[in-house]
Structure formats: C-alpha cells, structure tokens
Amino acid sequence: MLLKKILLVIFFTSLFVPHLFSQDLRKAFDSFIGTWDGNYEINEYKNIETMSNSWILGGKYFRIEIAGELADNPSARYFSLSLFTLDKDDNIIGWFFNENGYRGQFTWKGKVINNMVEISGKNSSGSTKMTFEMKDGKLINKREYNFGSIIKTEVIFSKR
C-alpha cells in the first residue's frame, strides 16, 4: 500500500513539474562549475578575471559571477552576475547585472549547440554575444560587444 502511494505521488508530480534542463544544457553547464581564472585584452587594456559558476536554487538556475580588474590598475575593478534557466520551449533565458545598475542590466537568450552555450543580450546601450565552450580542460569564452562599435575578444579560463 505504501509503495502504491509513493508511485502515485511520483506519477502526479511528474505531470506538474516541468522538465527544467535538457540533458545537453545540463552537461554543458556542469562542465563550467567551479572557479576559473582568465585574462584577455580589449584595445590596449589587459584584463584579469575570475569566474565562479554554480547551480543555485535547487539546480533550477545557473549562476555565473565575474570579478575583473585591469592588469595595470588593480583598483579599476568590475563585477557582474548572470543567472540562467530555460523557458517553456527549452531555450536558454537569463539576466545580467553589474555595478552600473539599470544601465548595466540586460536579458540573455540562447541555446546549446554541440556542447557550446551560445547567448546574446541587449539593452538600450547596445548588445553582447557570447559563447562558452570547453576545450582541452579550458573554458573558452568568446565575446562580441556592440556599444557603438564592435569589439571582439576571447577569454581562456583555467580552472583553479
């Protein structure tokens, strides 16, 4: 009798709880978990970043936090937070926030293509496109910023 009740609970729960993450997305994001260090250049400025990634809120959201600074001026720091989940059609949706308040926030949309996460976002100031992909134990983050002019860069992160 107890087994029958448990099976009924599992069955009815499965009817009402949405499938939150496709296996491809979970596999891609799982490989990004941890703390990563990277550096890159935009124009003549060298940047150093630390990216910390984890599942939160019972595995329903994936969090990416970035703390960075200019290599030649460590007091010139910047911080950002992105949260990701899936919409009802299994597309990636998310939100970006930084220390610029409402001027620095935007929404993400994206998908997984062959273990690569591809996202894009925009706000009233411009747009950003990014990809995240694991290659040879490194987390490769390609970025394209368009805030009046297009700037492309690639950050190669190594896991701590």
The predicted pLDDT at position 4 comes to 57
Give the containing element (helix H, strand E) for 60.
Answer: none
Structure tokens at 26: 């979970």
33-57 confidence digits (pLDDT tens): 999 999 999 888 899 999 999 999 8
- Residue 70: what residue type? L
Residue 61 lies in a domain: yes
Locate tokens 């930084």: which residue?
98
Residue 3 lies in a domain: no
Residue 106 lies in a domain: yes
The predicted pLDDT at position 16 comes to 44
Residue 57 lies in a domain: yes
Residue 14 lies in a domain: no
CA gap 150, 145 in Å, rounded = 6
Residue 15: band (very low, low, confident or very high) from pLDDT cuts 50, 70, 90 = very low
- How many structural domains is the chain composed of? 1
Residue 6 lies in a domain: no
Residue 8 lies in a domain: no
| CATH number of the domain within which 51 lies | 2.40.128.20
The predicted pLDDT at position 65 comes to 97
The predicted pLDDT at position 106 comes to 87
Residue 34 lies in a domain: yes
Find the domain containing 67 and state its range: 19-159
